[in-house]
Chain A
Amino acid sequence: MTALPQSVGAATTRSPRRRARRPAGLPWILPALVVSVGILYYCIGYTAYISTLDWDGASPLQEFVGGANYLKMVKDPIFWQSLQHTVIFFVVSFALRVVLGFVFASLLHSRLYLRTFYKVLIFIPVVLATATVAPVFRLIYAPTGTLNQLLEAVGLGSLTQLWLSNGAFALFAVITIQVWQSTGVSFVLYYAAMGQIEPDIVEAARLDGAGDFRVLRSIVWPGVRGTTIALAILTAIDSLKTFDVPFLVTSGGPSFATEFLGTQIYRVSIAYAQVGYGGSLSIVLLVLALAAAILINVTARRRERLDV
């Protein structure tokens, strides 16, 4: 039986006739819906409700203010700064995650030595809780920390910076920490996806004289397309939600240079006790995340149809 020619790893196209003959799937997705939607939709509804209030989360006094919180948000310069940082974070961390994960997965699918050793090393950062690695990174990026010491040692002393003190570099630091922590995940996913690619196709291409890069570009990369799209959606949601790293390493500073929606929601809800405003920020986060996910998916499907 011949191997599938083109749609390896991608969603297969369906003809209308075939769709009608597929068995019903609703009972299969029900447990997931009951658990997730059942438990969390109350939370979403609750958040939407309190976003219309002027409330401090504790007192029995709740004042209904309708859309006032949303208006406040639009006029809040820190909100727009957070979004800006989110976009930068998304673009850079997505690119790095994908490239590093893909390269590592490709390398470790080849016959090199000590593969398990490398696989473990790449993955350990994922295992560690952010709360415990954050202080380590704060020391690394400190004015007399290991990074500056390293730069001096190799003669690049002119590149030393007060990393966390400077807004732009602080954002860079936050992004690198996040990438460090999550490349292991993209690696694992790409690794599993590459395992689905028929080795026969690769063999056939090599027999035809294709070099490494040709194989990677034309067979492997399209073959793991689904993973890339899933990673895009997950990175988009992560970028919007990101909280641990900026909170623990820079507290959203200096001067809000590393403020994200996640940290802003925490600050507003917990420190300022303006849970209504925090609620409206959360709802906007949800809407943006869904919009991003749908946009990514739609773009991907359209590209895929054009390829076919």
Chain B
Amino acid sequence: MRFSHLKRAAVAAVAGAVLVSLGLAGCSGGSTASAGSATKGTVNWWSWTPDNDLAGREIAEFNKQYPDIKVNYKKVPIDNYAALLRPALASNSGPDVFTVNASGSFSGQTFAAYAYDLTPDIKKLLGSDWKSKIAPTGVKAFTIKGRLVAAEWAKVGAGNMWINQELFTKYNVQVPKTYAEWKTACATFRANGLGCFAEGLSGTSGFIVDTMHSILDSVKPGLWSDLLAGKAKWTDPAVVQAYQLLANMQKDGILDEGGNGIMQYPDVNNSFLTGKVPMVQMGTWYQQYAATNSLEAAVKGAGVDPATTPKVTIIPIDFPDVAGKGNPPTLFTDPDAGQAVNAKSKNRAAAVTFALWLGNTKEGQQVVANNLDEFPTLNGVEVQFDKVTLVNPDAQSKPLAELTAKLKAATEVRSYGISAELSQALITAAQNVIGGKSASDQVAAIQTAATSGQ
């Protein structure tokens, strides 16, 4: 009787060991599943984007061509996406199709080991010159060690800003193109009780990285790409100058104070769309709010009654030349999303059909384009602006068309190649200088993060 507890403990230990080995066995490798039919089956699709109703539209369009493939969309909140995807893919019950990003914690690179090589299938669909028919940044970002791990279906641009046209007209403010003009413009807004350039540095989204990119492009064009490629060091004096400019922007009343404590989404977003903020830095995805229905939905979500709130007319503008060196404003672009197919999927052929459809067929890309939040990556697909109801077509049509043209011509990389550690270091450095620390003290830590993140 005295030793019975020891025996029980031993049994428990053995059971535990068995569980461990079972579990580890489950983690290693994957079965080579049969491909299944290419036109029939059930496909489970996991992604953080698009929203459920937009996904519904895309799937409905897909089913017009492939009625026998049932697609189940599971929208995972972006904050939990990486945490959930990893164990799911490690098991044998993961999704058949999963969306990946160009960089970051759920990039094509991160999950390349679980993805099926799409090269033969995309060649079948688009021909052997398929690379020339789609946006080249996506091909580069999603080709890992010679394998195409994801098929891109959307891209975004950043580096521009958006203004509230009503506020600019009301206070007779000119769109600033230089630092001095910006300072004057903001002084006018502040004299009338408003803020000026609002940005949220809290959270992990890192929109401040885009701002630092824009500032650095104004200081020394081309340096950003060199930095990302490892050809330059983050301790470069131009980087110090960029951070110093950020601190100056707050000191001189351009950048609103308190940025460290607010988040770009939802705080700044809600404030801007409800008309409280004159200017923000958001990318091309923001153009969806030029459309009446999206703006109304956003305003409702911000807790404001759209019927009694005047709709803001948002206009894209260039980032002002803050360094004063006459360098042109830039637009940089990244593939925003690619569809990857789980190599262990039991419905692999059907999954491949769906994965390639969204990004590489005219029908799929047209739905994506008309949703306005993402840009198509297949050559020859345009946003059909005539199908969209703009808030203020007279003021917005031309600038939006110009933005689209600029994005098509943009070749500079946005953040592909930035590791999560480097991104965090850039954000922390910005938070520090906003909090009053010196700019030159920050760059050493950024360089450390850059090298270790490789």
Contacts and interface: CB of A to CB of B under 8 A. Distances in A.
Direct contact of A and B (CB under 8 A): yes
B178 to A, nearest CB: 28
Given A58-B114, A254-B201, A273 B420 contact: yes
Contact of B257 (A143, A255, A266, A270): A143
A41 B431 contact: no
B111 A138 contact: no
A250 B258 contact: no
A37 interface: yes
A162 to B, nearest CB: 4
Given A45-B16, A255-B428, A58 B421 contact: no
B409 interface: no
Nearest to B85: A58
B12 interface: yes
A51 B79 CA distance: 24
Contacts of A37: 12
Interface in B394-436: 419-421, 424, 428, 431-432, 434-435
B251 to A, nearest CB: 15
Contacts of B33: none
Nearest to A173: B261
Interface stretch (A5-13, A92-100, A163-171, A177-185): A163-171
B89 interface: yes
B23 A24 contact: no
Contact of B267 (A138, A250, A266, A267): A138
A251 interface: yes
Interface in A31-70: 33-34, 37-38, 41-42, 45-46, 56-60
Contacts of B29: 60
Contact of B261 (A38, A56, A58, A142): A142
A253 interface: yes
A255 B12 contact: no
A101 B77 CA distance: 36
A164 B260 contact: yes
B114 A255 contact: no
B69 to A, nearest CB: 27
Contacts of A38: 12, 15-16
B293 interface: no
Given A38-B15, A142-B261, A272-B421, A164 B202 contact: yes
- The A contact surface, by secondary structure, is helix
A26 interface: yes
A157 interface: no
Interface string A4-28: 0000000000000000000010100
Contact of A58 (B23, B24, B110, B204): B110
Nearest to A33: B12
B444 interface: no
A256 B428 contact: yes
Given A45-B16, A272-B420, A60 B1 contact: no
Contact of A46 (B4, B23, B204): B23
| Chain B interface category by residue count | 35 or more
Contacts of B125: none
A60 to B, nearest CB: 6
A38 B20 CA distance: 11
A270 B82 contact: yes
Contact of A273 (B23, B90, B110): B110
A141 interface: yes
B448 to A, nearest CB: 12
B105 interface: yes
A271 interface: yes
Contacts of A30: 8
Contacts, number: 114
Pick from A37, A60, A164, A254 the residue with the most CB of B within 10 Å.
A254
A164 B12 contact: no
Nearest to B453: A272
Contact of B262 (A34, A42, A57, A164): A164
B376 interface: no
Interface string B287-326: 0000000000000000000000000000000000000000
B424 A267 contact: yes
Interface in A84-136: 135
B105 A272 contact: yes
B263 A138 contact: yes
Given A60-B29, A255-B428, A165 B203 contact: no
B180 interface: no
B202 A250 contact: yes
Nearest to B107: A273
Contacts of B431: 253-255
Interface string B100-144: 000011000011111000000000000000000000000000000
Nearest to B89: A58
A58 B19 contact: no
Contacts of B28: 60
Given A60-B29, A250-B202, A254-B435, 20 more contacts: A30-B8, A38-B15, A41-B16, A42-B23, A58-B86, A58-B114, A138-B263, A143-B261, A162-B260, A163-B261, A164-B262, A165-B261, A250-B261, A251-B203, A251-B204, A253-B431, A254-B202, A255-B260, A255-B431, A271-B82
Kindly list the 5 A-B residue pairs having the minimum CB-CB distance in the complex, ordered from nearest.
A164-B261, A165-B261, A254-B260, A165-B260, A143-B258
Interface of B: 1, 4-5, 8, 12, 15-16, 19-20, 23-24, 28-29, 82-83, 86, 89-90, 104-105, 110-114, 201-204, 257-263, 266-267, 419-421, 424, 428, 431-432, 434-435, 453
